[in-house]
A and B are shown apart, each in its own frame.
Chain A
Amino acid sequence: MIEFTLWDIVRNLLLAARWTIVLSLIAFAGGATLGMLLTLLRLSSLKPLRLLASVYVDLFQGTPLLMQLFLAFFGAAALGFDVSAWTAASVALTLFTSAFLCDIWRGCVEAVPSGQWQASRVLGMNYMQSMRHIILPQALRLSVPPTVGFSVQVIKGTALASVIGFVELTKAGTMLNNAAFAPFTIFALVALVYFALCYPLSCYARHLERKLYGSGIR
């Protein structure tokens, strides 16, 4: 049996944390892109498009992320695609993230007072013009704090990729535990690394929120 020093454990966890970060970035970038498209669909003037986006959001918000990962992993295999844990985790987390971001951003657009809409329409702007010049810039300001706050959920969500065999922080923790059997220390350290990643983001989101609502523009 191999002896593990505390440093061995910490070093391996930190190395694995890279993949947690990379997966989080992929999920967030992909999710933001897809989420933006979905938000536009959700705010479209065509009813079928709005319906499509809201069904999508409800499906992803109403089912466990773990199931979405299983479906992406085993489902794709059953359909004849040979997907790696990387692909399955990236796809599932991207779809999951996009649904939540769509919901957050729709809320931000709707939070812009309706007088702004009426004023821009009165000024002769059409739907697209008012959206682009009047509504979206204001919605964008409102959207920053909750979006930063949600990035914490994305990082925590990547922990579930360990279940389909993706070696990131949590999986590295269970693997180390299988070899070294020091669950208390190892899982406390795993939690600590997640905390170090997430807590600054949580604080930043709170700071942005205070700044936004303190500025009097709402």
Chain B
Amino acid sequence: MELDFSTLVPYAGELVQGFVTTVVLTAISTLAGLGLASLVAYVRSGKASLLGRMLGGYVEVTRNTPFIVQLFFLFFGLSALGFKISALFAAFLAMTLNLGAYSAEILRAGIEATDRGQLEAARALGMSRLQSYRHVVLIPAFARIYPALTSQCIIVMLGSAVVSQISVFDLTYAANFIQSRNFRGFEVYLVVTLIYLLLAVGMRQAFGFVGRRAFAFRQGGNA
């Protein structure tokens, strides 16, 4: 057979729409997921509590079940219970919860590496509990685990291909849509796979760019 990419040209609009959805969905669920992870890691790194144990359960359940099942459960399961949510919101929720669980675990490792003396010093200097948590524990922990976090966010972006299955018009949905019109499955999937690859490379660059600025205090340091 011969590859023919020209049949893709009329569908450039769909590809752009799918691309934008994937990028926006990834961006907002990355932000929300990292916020959630900070909260979960904060609670779980403190004294043992009922809330801490419940959050531990959430982390374990999320890490040990497939994303597609989480997505179906949120989208189909919750709407059957009467909580009507749109496919787009279900996708956002599933991606946020997924990233939240994984990065809470990564973040906890970073937090546990904090020197207790530093925390005591911060309190002795008159910082409040929240202030010292933010400046002495959380931000240095983020700096330590930043590479692992970058990989996890990229994994969530790639995993977001699954949201096409609840008919969110993302990049993969666009691929399926085009494939069903021009019957050129192989070409379409090849091009879209390449776009995902470029997106992953781009994300790694962007995270590196942000990281070098946000954690400039670490450069030349030994933390």
Contact = CB atoms under 8 A, between A and B. Distances in A.
A140 B139 CA distance: 35
A71 B64 contact: no
Interface in B149-172: 154, 158-162, 164-165, 172
Given A159-B68, A190-B73, A194-B66, 18 more contacts: A62-B158, A64-B172, A66-B162, A67-B161, A67-B189, A71-B193, A77-B185, A77-B186, A156-B66, A157-B66, A159-B66, A183-B77, A184-B77, A184-B80, A195-B64, A198-B64, A198-B65, A202-B63
B159 A79 contact: no
Contacts of A59: 197
Contact of B193 (A61, A63, A159): A63
The interface residues of chain B, by DSSP majority, are classed as helix
B143 to A, nearest CB: 21
Interface string A129-144: 0000000000000000
A4 interface: no
B76 interface: yes
B66 A170 contact: yes
A28 B201 CA distance: 27
Interface residues of B, number: 42
A127 interface: no
Contacts of A64: 158-162, 172, 193, 196
Interface string B49-68: 00000000000110111111
A152 B67 CA distance: 13
A71 B73 contact: no
Contacts, number: 129
Contacts of B81: 184
Contacts of A67: 161, 172, 175, 189, 192-193, 196
Interface of A: 59, 61-68, 70-71, 74-75, 77-80, 152, 156-157, 159-160, 162-163, 170, 173-174, 177, 181-184, 187-188, 190-191, 194-195, 198-199, 202
